[in-house]
Amino acid sequence: MKCLSLRRLAVLAALAATVCAHAGNQKEEALADPVRLALARAISDPRPPKPEFSDIEDRIKYLRWLGEMSERLKKRLPDMQVRREFLQTAWYEAKRAGLDPSLVLGLIQVESGFRKYAVSPVGAHGYMQVMPFWTRVIGDGDRRKLFNMQTNLRYGCSILRLYLDMEKGNLYLALGRYNGSRGKPEYPNAVLAAWKRWEFTEEPTPGKQ
């Protein structure tokens, strides 16, 4: 029985190590005041994550994306309302930051496995494994808010956008910076592979080329 228990513990430890292997470890860096203030304004924007569309075709495409991603995410987030709210918010925050929503989903898969209350060994919080120091640098200092779905996704998307800008659009380097492993291939490759699994291909509208 003891051997069996030890084996179970070993398996659980291995699984835990796998889940946390890519957990975020952003490094605190000196930010120019305009950059810091812009990030702070983006984080504090009180508007709810409600997508708005001026074009009916864009709305239809979004609804198709939402339905497809909801089906793919069903095993990880079984509750339909939670799943749809999560996807709606992820799409909104990704678009708001100028990111591909599928990239954001891939990053979340690698970072936390879609676990809202995930905490890494280095203290990163939530879906996008945001380091708590960010709440002090650009927020109100309350790290508990990183377990709020929209707050976590907003921080994560805003930070990735910052790193993309810092790296002049180089996604590979920006992802490495997000993970605190800039220049090493493991994390960017893992996120890029996961991104492919969440890509959405829009079906052509009948009668259109």
- With respect to residue 15, please indicate whether it lies within any of the assigned structural domains: no
Q: Which domain holds residue 143?
A: 24-197
- With respect to residue 11, please indicate whether it lies within any of the assigned structural domains: no
pLDDT digits (tens, 9 = 90+) for 115-174: 999 999 999 999 999 999 999 999 999 999 999 999 999 999 999 999 999 999 999 999
We report the CATH number of the domain holding residue 30 as 1.10.530
Label residues 112-124 b or e (16+ Cβ within 10 Å = b): bebeeebbbeeeb
- With respect to residue 134, please indicate whether it lies within any of the assigned structural domains: yes
- Has residue 7 got a pLDDT over 70? no
Is this model's pTM higher than 0.75 or not? yes
pLDDT digits (tens, 9 = 90+) for 79-124: 999 999 999 999 999 999 999 999 999 999 999 999 999 999 999 9
- With respect to residue 115, please indicate whether it lies within any of the assigned structural domains: yes
Determine what percent of the chain is predicted with pLDDT higher than 90: 69
d(CA 201, CA 64): 10
Which helix (H) or strand (E) is 191 found in, with range? helix 186-197
Length of the chain: 209
- With respect to residue 16, please indicate whether it lies within any of the assigned structural domains: no
pLDDT digits (tens, 9 = 90+) for 45-70: 877 788 888 899 999 999 999 999 99
Q: Kindly calculate the radius of gyration of the chain based on its CA atoms and give it in whole angstroms.
A: 18
Which has the minimum average pLDDT: 4-18, 56-70, 71-85, 178-192?
4-18
Contact 135, 146 (CB under 8 A): yes
- With respect to residue 86, please indicate whether it lies within any of the assigned structural domains: yes
Total domain count for the chain? 1
- With respect to residue 161, please indicate whether it lies within any of the assigned structural domains: yes
- Has residue 12 got a pLDDT over 50? no
In sequence order, which residues have a C-beta less than 8 Å from that of residue 193 and are 6 or more positions away?
106
- With respect to residue 17, please indicate whether it lies within any of the assigned structural domains: no
- Highest average pLDDT, of 38-52, 78-92, 195-209, comes from 78-92
- Per-residue pLDDT band for 29 (boundaries 50, 70, 90) equals confident
Which helix (H) or strand (E) is 149 found in, with range? helix 149-166
